[in-house]
Structures are given as structure tokens and as C-alpha cells.
Amino acid sequence: MNKNIFIKSILIGLIASIAFILIQPLFGLATLTSRHAAAYINLGGYNETIALILSWFVHVSVSIAYAILSTFIFSMNSTIAVSTIQVLVLGWITTLIATPANEWVVKLVTTQKMPDISTLAPINTHIGPKFWLHVMFFIFVIIGLYVAKIKKGVK
């Protein structure tokens, strides 16, 4: 992955992370950033501003990492079939790990100690709002990658 593609994947991840938070209430969920910020305040004693900044930093960082992974897959094969499979598989994997991963981050931030994995919530195997929200996130990423590909071809 060259520098330009890497920078594009970061920008796409940033935009998709914001879109994720904006559409999350449409799925009947409180925003991830508000839930994390509240936990940082209530469990860790952080002030509101620091808690909100930290929650956004964590969310955007994870989103960018997911966008970089998606970009890597997309750069190997950008067919609609592979992109669809990618959206569904990554949507499913992220749904499985989201609950324990979020709990791990909250415990790490609020206790400033590495949480014991055995104390975390189990993986989420439900196909419900969280799954569809993760699928939407990866759709946003893939759309961004296709737009970037089209713009590159137009120049």
C-alpha cells in the first residue's frame, strides 16, 4: 500500500467513523462515544471534556484501523462480489468482538490496568442492530474506496 492510498484510507476511516456515530441512534442505540465518555466519567473520574475527547480518539482510531484493513483487501480485489463478502465478513467479525473489545477499552482506560480477558463479556453472536450498524460502517468504507478509485481513474 503506497503513501497516497494509506492517507486515503485514513480519511475514509475518519469519515466512516463519524457516519457510524451519526447513524447509530437510527439503530436504536446510544452512540458509542457517549457511552464510553459516560463510563470514563463514572468509573474513571475523568472530566467531561477529556472523557469525550478520549472516547472519540478511541473510536476514530479503531475505525481507521478497520478502514486500512478494508483498503488492503480492496487493493487486492475490488470486485463487487469480493467487496460484498468483505462487508459481510468484517461486519460479522466486528460484531462478534465489539462488546468485549469495548468493555476491555473502558476497563483499561478507567483502571489504567490491563483487564483480564476472562472478566469480559462474551462475544456477541446476535444478528441485530449492532451487526447491521457494522455492515453499514464497512459499506461507507467501500463506497469511499470506490469513489477514490473512480476519481483516480478520471484524472
| Distance in angstroms (rounded) separating the CA atoms of residues 17 and 75 | 21
Report d(CA 31, CA 42) in Å as an integer.
17
Look at residue 155 in the predicted model and tell me its pLDDT: 53
Residue 149 to residues 14, 17, 55, 155, Cα–Cα distance (Å): 18, 20, 31, 10
In this predicted structure, what is the pLDDT of residue 150? 80
pTM of the model: 0.91
Q: What is the pLDDT along the chain (155 residues), one digit of tens a residue?
A: 688 889 999 999 999 999 999 999 999 999 999 999 999 999 999 999 999 999 999 999 999 999 999 999 999 999 999 999 999 999 999 999 999 999 999 999 999 999 999 999 999 999 999 999 999 999 999 999 999 888 776 55
What pLDDT sits at residue 2?
84
> Are 74 and 83 within 8 A, CB to CB?
yes
